[in-house]
Amino acid sequence: MEAILDFSGDLNISLLDQVVTTFYRGSGPEKLQAQKILTQFQEHPEAWKRADAILEKSQVNETRFLALQVLETLIKTMWKALPPVQANGIKDFIVAFVIKMSSTEESLHQNRTLISKLNLVLVQILKQEWPHNWPNFIPEIVAASKSNLSLCENNMRILRLLSEEIFDFGAEQMTQQKAHNLKNQMCAEFSSIFQLCHEILQKAAKPSLIKATLATLHRFLNWIPLGYIFETDIISILHSRFLSERAFRNITLKCLTEIGALDIHGTHDDRFVLLFNMTLGSVVQMLPTNTNIPRFYEEGSDDDEQFLQNLALFLTSFMSTHLLPVETIGAQDPNCREMLMVAHHYLLCISQIPEQEIFKICLEYWTKLVTGLYEELINPPPASTDPLLQHNSSLVLAGSVNRASGVRRMLYTDVLHQLRIVFIERMVKPKEVLITENDEGEIVRVFVKESDTIVLYKSMREALVYLTHLGVDDMIAIMNEKLARQMDNSEWSWDNLNKLCWAIGSISGAMNEEIEKNFLVKVIKELLTLTELRRGKDNKAVVASNIMYVVGQYPRFLKAHWKFLKTVVNKLFEFMHELHEGVQDMACDTFIKIAQECKRHFVTQQQTESQPYVDEIINDIDRHVMDLRPQQVQTFYEAVGYMIRAAPSKQASDRMVESLMRSPNAGWDSLMAEATQRPDILSDPEKIKMLGNILKTNVSACTSIGGGFLIQIGRNYMDMLGLYRAVSGLISQAVASEGLIATKTPRVRGMRTIKKEILKLVETFVVSYKAPDLESIMESMIPPLLETVLVDYQRNVEDARDAEVLSVMASIITRLSNFILPQIPPILDSVFQCTLNMISQDFEEYPEHRHSFFLMLQAINTYCFPALLQLPSAQFKLYMDSIVWAFKHTMRDISDMGLSIVTEMLTNFSKTEPSVANAFFQTYYLSLLQDIFFVLTNPFHKSGFRWQTVILSQLFTMVSNGTITQPLYDPTQVTRPNMSNQEFLTDAMQTLLANAFPHVQPVKIAAFVQGLFVHCKDFPAFKGHVRDFLVTLKEFSGEEGADGADKLFLEEREAELEQRKQAELQAALRIPGMVKPSDRPDTEASMQD
């Protein structure tokens, strides 16, 4: 095998074929050996010179693919470095080979996969050579297409690939200027391409050629000048020749979809409406309106399935863009109006197909339709401008705003009615529902939330809210009728009841309070009755889950009806004793949600009540939680904590906290007393488990109560620190006697849980403590904590160190800021070096320690920067090295944190005394610059592109505007000791980049460095300048695929996504019911003390 790696003589092609065959069809050691040799062959710098011989002589297609892969890599990464003679030789060979392989029908068919790869390679060459070095490419390919039908068919595929590379992927794989130039060139030379396509579609009879041409035209239609579409007969040809032909209907419908999706309002409305009517007329002939479409989909062929999906895409794309012109013309033209209704009939039927991806296509349009109708309902257009009203003079004369805003709604009355039914019957599971039916028909607990389902639920919920606003009476009538059919057993099933209740829960807030009250009371009463009617454990679990889901979605109703709220909560307490899998979890989750939403109602004494209800809950808490698992008990305590947080006074809060924690404290006191009598109590696994659960309960309560938990944490604080020291000693003893394996034993893991929960409790309290006397907390809590925790962390073996220590330090530093400045040196002395030793060996070990360690470094930089200036130079250098290690990290969260620290540190130093700042920059500027360029040009760090360019911009701006007043160089080591920092940096950067990227022309490097200074104060321009340089480097770097370049646009995508998210939230908040009660920023759940 190894003989193929000998590049001193001719390649043995048959041996290469044998190695490739062994790799693809062999097994065991031989296969692995073949893989290793083929990888070495591909990576050899001379391998591309063997490609022509392999393609000509190999008898194995996989071997030919290998040769093409080598060529493609060469073209993408080294093309500009090749001598012109060699580049032209490769180009001529590929062109000749493509022509040879595609010149006959037989060869085209037999070598289809190989030709596809050849086409890709040719297009990669075109991206490098056309138009400047290959100006006649378009005339040549058009002329060649007229000489041979098989050649013409393949040329269509080449043109399609070229269009995709330029218009679909261009921004991600080319510089901005190059992509712009290729698009302009393609448009300028498109006339002859279009004539070729037109001639084929008008005259050709060969099916495969027609399909290839239609597929190519499909790729052209979203960018070609409009005259080619609307000033030629291309639409007529597509409709009359191909749409009704089964062999071509799918690709033709895709072409018509591209045309229908063109968003050019007002200029060609009549042509678009004609296209719509013509297309629907043909569809009715192929698919009569009385067809049972879900059954047709179920029983049809793959082609039929594709047809229905393409029909959905056509209808949704067209009507999303051109619905108003169709409605306007339809007001005068009965045929057009009928086609509009037929289109919606088809979409309603397609929406019932049990295929989620097709439903998502329809859902997008339905949401747009009902959104538009709702917006007209609340902001009705003036009668004189409403196109529909212009053709309904009686409504204009009536002058009724309500009628004016309802004309379009009236048009879609039947459609909206059917749509409500479809959405209820297709409703998907919300994230709050924790039980489901498995494949065996059993009701089981859900452990994994399906993100796709949650996204779909959110979209369906949005549409249902709009549908409710557009016809609340109809929505209620449909839901009541479906509920009645659950009661009378005519439509009873778990699935039907679930979907109905999920839909009912999703429209919370979309009705006025009186309607909501009447509707919800009826629903809950019926569901409670249903729990009595349906026998069997699973049936009761399903009904119970639906009751809990529905009541959890209507906090407004619960707040307004105290007795109902109390009844619901008592029902939840009943469900907490129901041992069916998932029911208790859902009861606890619903309870905490209601506690968050209605917390003030629990701490206020209601009429007819002798005390606030929270006191009653606390008094009976042991009974309520007796059947719950520890995790569920902790959820219960957290829920009651939200109520206590709303207490009217500190005295009331303290009293409630003491009452709430009575049982955990009794357990704690008992165990502490036992420990004083019997020190070996911590050897008892059961006692360790009890202590862990008590601490977790404290953490849960503190999470919701916040600063009001002071009375409880103060009660047990010194005992907790004593326990921390005791278990630390026992862990050390275990490690000393048993070795590192001791850290994996259940006993030691249980003791470490105690330590972690103590740390978590302190962190939770400190972060949430809002009182002004932070200094007193610093004086009373922090010194004994640091004394206990830091020494223990430093002396422990690596595997016994708790990452929570670092997390607590980060939180304390963040919260106490200047108050903890004197403690920063001892904190770093205890945790810095020993943690760095743990995480600096690789990028994988101790991930939790890594994250918490850099969080701590970030907190020190942000909140205690003066402490850094006091560090000894050796320790400060370690700090800087750690930050560099962070932004070189392969985990994005760590690298982003490192870059963020650098950005803030540069800002901090720029504000310090000039002498301090200059000393820092003279020591670290150049090395920092080199390290940033290292990650900037490393494909594994593309996701950090924004922060990397921010730092570069800062560094170059500091030199450009003279922030750094001392030389960045040693005057004794340079030829021009009086040069400016900008002159020095220009030379240093050019040298650095030339050494790193020897294939890039010096003039390009010089232009890039000059641009860094020119654009450093205009960040968008600076970022674009750097991005273009990186795309240029990609041609030499060996990096393939769009992924790396794609990540250079990550910031824009993330920013656009965040802006859209905020805009959508603000718009949704203006629509009653659109934002779930638990997600509204103005609810009790989100209010702070």
Enumerate the β-bridge partners of residue 437.
443
Distance from C-alpha of 397 to C-alpha of 794, rounded to nearest angstrom: 86
Under the banding of pLDDT at 50, 70 and 90, the label for residue 842 is confident
**Helix, strand or coil, per DSSP, at residue 841:** coil
Q: How much is the average pLDDT of 376-397?
A: 56
Strand partners, 445: 435
Q: What angle do CA 930, 931, 937 make, to 5 degrees?
A: 90
Q: Provide the pLDDT for residue 840.
A: 86
pLDDT at 433: 73
Q: What is the pLDDT, as a whole number, of residue 447?
A: 56
Question: Do residues 347 and 362 touch, judged by C-beta distance below 8 A?
Answer: yes
Q: Is residue 256 part of a domain?
A: yes
| Longest distance between any two alpha carbons in the chain, whole Å | 102
Residue 374 lies in a domain: yes
The two tokens of residue 976 are 């021009």
Least confident of 151-155, 241-245, 992-996: 992-996
**Within a domain: 575:** no
Q: What whole-number distance in Å separates Cα of residue 374 and Cα of residue 953?
A: 47
C-alpha span between 536 and 149 (Å, rounded)? 70
Q: pTM for the complete prediction?
A: 0.79
- Cα angle value 179/182/184 (rounded, 5°): 110
| 277 located within any domain | yes
Q: What is the pLDDT of residues 567-620, one digit of tens each?
A: 999 999 999 999 887 889 999 999 999 999 999 999 999 988 899 999 999 999
3-state DSSP percent of the chain in helix, strand and coil, to 5: 80, 0, 20
Q: Which residues of 593-626 are buried (b: 16+ CB within 10 A; e: fewer)?
A: bbbbbbbebbbeeeeeeeebbbbebbeebeebbe
Distances in whole angstroms, Cα of residue 302 to Cα of each of 305, 349, 353, 482, 896? 5, 18, 14, 35, 47
- Provide the residue range defining the domain that includes 337: 232-379
Record the tokens describing residue 373, joined without a space. Answer: 């109708």
Q: How far apart are CA 709 and CA 573, in angstroms?
A: 25
In whole angstroms, how large is the CA radius of gyration of the chain?
36
Other C-beta atoms closer than 10 Å to the C-beta of 54 total 23
Predicted local confidence at residue 736, as pLDDT: 86
Average pLDDT over residues 867-887: 93
Q: Is 20:38 a contact under the CB 8 Å cutoff?
A: yes
- Per-residue pLDDT, 659: 98
Question: Considering the domain boundaries, does residue 261 fall inside one?
Answer: yes
Whether 1061 contacts 1067, CB under 8 Å? no
Q: What is the pLDDT of residues 755-804, one digit of tens each?
A: 999 999 999 999 888 767 778 777 889 999 999 999 999 998 888 899 99
Is residue 775 in some structural domain?
no
Query: What is each CA distance from 710 to 645, 692, 932, 1009, in whole angstroms?
Result: 12, 20, 46, 58
* Tokens matching residue 1033: 């480097």
Torsion angle of the four alpha carbons 131, 134, 138, 140, in this order, in degrees rounded to the nearest 10: 170
User: Measured at the alpha carbon of residue 510, what is the angle toward residues 508 and 513, in degrees to the nearest 5?
Assistant: 85
CA atoms within 13 A on the CB side of 768: 22
Assess contact for 580 and 531: CB atoms under 8 A.
no
Whether pLDDT at 861 is above 90:
yes
The reported pLDDT for the residue numbered 57 is 95
Q: Cα 1076 from chain centroid?
A: 21
Tokens of 818: 């200047």
Would you state the pLDDT for residue 392? 46
Dihedral angle computed from the Cα positions of residues 1020, 1023, 1027 and 1030, in that order, rounded to the nearest 10 degrees: 170
> Would the pLDDT of 425 be above 90?
yes
Average pLDDT, the chain: 90
> How many residues in total does the chain contain?
1089
Q: Taking 80 as the threshold, does the pLDDT of residue 174 lie above it?
A: no
| CA distances in angstroms from 860 to 450, 857, 906, listed in the order given | 39, 5, 14
pLDDT, one tens digit per residue, over 1064-1083 is 778 888 888 888 777 777 55
Q: Higher model confidence: residue 303 or residue 401? A: 303
- Rounded percentage of the chain residues whose pLDDT exceeds 70: 93
* Six token digits for residue 987: 């030379």
User: Which among 513, 582, 599 has a CA at the least distance from the CA of 554?
Assistant: 513
Output the six-digit token pair for 754. 């105690």
Q: What confidence category does residue 891 fall into, taking pLDDT thresholds of 50, 70 and 90?
A: confident
Asked if the model's pLDDT at residue 429 lies above 50, the reply is: yes
Predicted confidence band at 388 (pLDDT cuts at 50, 70, 90)?
Answer: low
By the 10 Å C-beta count (0-12 exposed, 13-18 middle, 19+ buried), 987 is classed as: middle
Residues 6+ apart with CB under 8 A from 680: none
Token digits for 924? 């670290």
DSSP 240: I
| Tens digits of residue pLDDT in 911-960 | 999 999 999 999 999 999 999 999 998 877 888 889 999 999 999 999 99
- Name the domain count of the chain: 1
Say if 260 falls within a structural domain.
yes
Q: Residue 700: inside a domain, yes or no?
A: no
